[in-house]
């Protein structure tokens, strides 16, 4: 199984400042046949289900604010919130869908400093 | 508007059974693969099982193989998860999640991300 790790476990950022979350997979999730990274990012707010923010590592889901961006390839990925807003307080998960079982990172909790 | 509504959770003793349901609306149900994903206290999100749009492809995480069965009734727009021989470690909030494709796993073994999730149903396994 592909093991996903995230860092940091939690971070507190001032409103308007940048938040950066890292995700690492135990093996590459880049498929050479289509040059796509099978990596998604989800946001889960308290009492709500997860919501997809980014897929294919860097494609923003429709309706997601452009302050959210994804980057990386192979085994190392980053979710960046360019200017943290109060409504961004949540736990963020990365997930690989390169191979079954599809596995998630342990999550990163983002809070306001 | 896509809606997924889970039901069937509850308190069950170890070794017992439960059947979860997920009623879907707002999209052509048979055109999309569906999955169950659980969130256990202190353990994060775990994909449990998936089924293709036609129902002919089913997939499980190793820890539930032989105990859980995923199925769907496309005439009723409903997804199911039959859970037998339940263990304490199955205690979790169970979400149904819609795949962004008709398949859950492609012929080359690749998957798809989950674009919609239900609110979840809580399963507690305890004596």
The C-alpha of B59 sits at a distance from chain A's nearest C-alpha, in angstroms, of 8
Long-range contacts of A44-47 (CB under 8 A, 24+ apart): A44/A90, A44/A91, A44/A92, A44/A93, A44/A107, A45/A89, A45/A90, A46/A90
pLDDT at B19 over 90: yes
Q: How far apart are CA A55 and CA A98, in angstroms?
A: 12
Cis bond upstream, residue B57 (ω within 30): no
pLDDT (tens digit per residue) in A14-26: 999 999 999 999 9
- Burial zone of B119 (CB within 10 Å; 0-12 exposed, 13-18 middle, 19+ buried): middle
**pLDDT given at position B104:** 86
On the question of pLDDT at B64 being above 90, the answer is: yes
Please provide the average confidence, as pLDDT, over all residues in chain B. Answer: 96
- Contact indicator for A44, B117 with CB cutoff of 8 Å: no
Contacts of B44 in chain A (CB under 8 A): 93, 104-107
Please name the residue of chain B whose CA is at the shortest distance from the CA of residue A33. B108
Chain A interface residues (partner B, CB cutoff 8 A): 31, 33, 38, 40, 42, 48-52, 55, 61, 93, 95, 97-107
Q: Which residue of A has its CA nearest to B112?
A: A97
Confidence label for B42 from pLDDT (cuts 50, 70 and 90): confident
| pLDDT at residue B106 is higher than 90 | no
Model pLDDT, residue B45: 96
- Residue B91, pLDDT > 90, answer yes
The per-residue pLDDT for range A88-109, each reduced to its tens digit, is 999 999 999 999 999 999 999 9
Q: Which residue of A has its CA nearest to B62?
A: A101
Q: Do B46 and A104 touch (CB under 8 A)?
A: yes
- Cβ proximity of A103 and A4 under 8 Å: yes
The predicted structure's pLDDT at residue B102: 85
| Ranges A41-55, A57-71, B55-69, B101-115: which has the least confidence | B101-115
On the question of pLDDT at B41 being above 90, the answer is: no
Question: Does position B109 have pLDDT exceeding 90, yes or no?
Answer: no
CA nearest to B6, candidates B116, B126, B125, B127:
B116
pLDDT category of residue B80 using cuts at 50, 70 and 90: very high
Instruction: Report pLDDT for B3.
Output: 97
What percent of chain A has a predicted confidence (pLDDT) above 70? Answer: 100
Shortest distance, CA B18 to any CA of chain A (angstroms): 22
- Residue A102 vs residues B9, B59, B126: alpha-carbon distances, Å: 23, 10, 27
């Amino acid at each position: 199984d592909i093991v996903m790790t995230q860092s940091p476990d939690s971070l507190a950022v001032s409103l308007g400042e940048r938040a950066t979350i890292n995700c690492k997979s135990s093996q590459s999730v880049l498929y050479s046949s289509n040059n796509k990274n099978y990596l998604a990012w989800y946001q889960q707010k308290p009492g709500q289900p997860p919501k997809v923010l980014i897929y294919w590592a860097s494609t923003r889901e429709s309706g997601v604010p452009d302050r959210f961006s994804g980057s990386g390839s192979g085994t190392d990925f980053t979710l960046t919130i360019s200017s943290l807003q109060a409504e961004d307080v949540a736990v963020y998960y990365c997930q690989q869908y390169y191979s079954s079982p599809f596995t998630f990172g342990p999550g990163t909790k983002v809070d306001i400093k | 508007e896509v809606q997924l509504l889970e039901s069937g959770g509850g308190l069950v003793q170890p070794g017992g059974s439960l059947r979860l349901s997920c009623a879907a609306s707002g999209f052509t149900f048979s055109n999309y693969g569906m999955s169950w994903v659980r969130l256990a206290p202190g353990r994060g999100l775990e994909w449990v099982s998936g089924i293709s749009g036609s129902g002919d492809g089913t997939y499980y995480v190793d820890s539930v193989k032989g105990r859980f069965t995923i199925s769907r009734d496309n005439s009723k727009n409903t997804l199911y998860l039959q859970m037998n021989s339940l263990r304490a470690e199955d205690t979790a909030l169970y979400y149904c999640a819609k795949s962004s494709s008709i398949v859950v796993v492609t012929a080359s073994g690749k998957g798809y991300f989950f674009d919609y999730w239900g609110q979840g149903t809580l399963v507690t396994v305890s004596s």
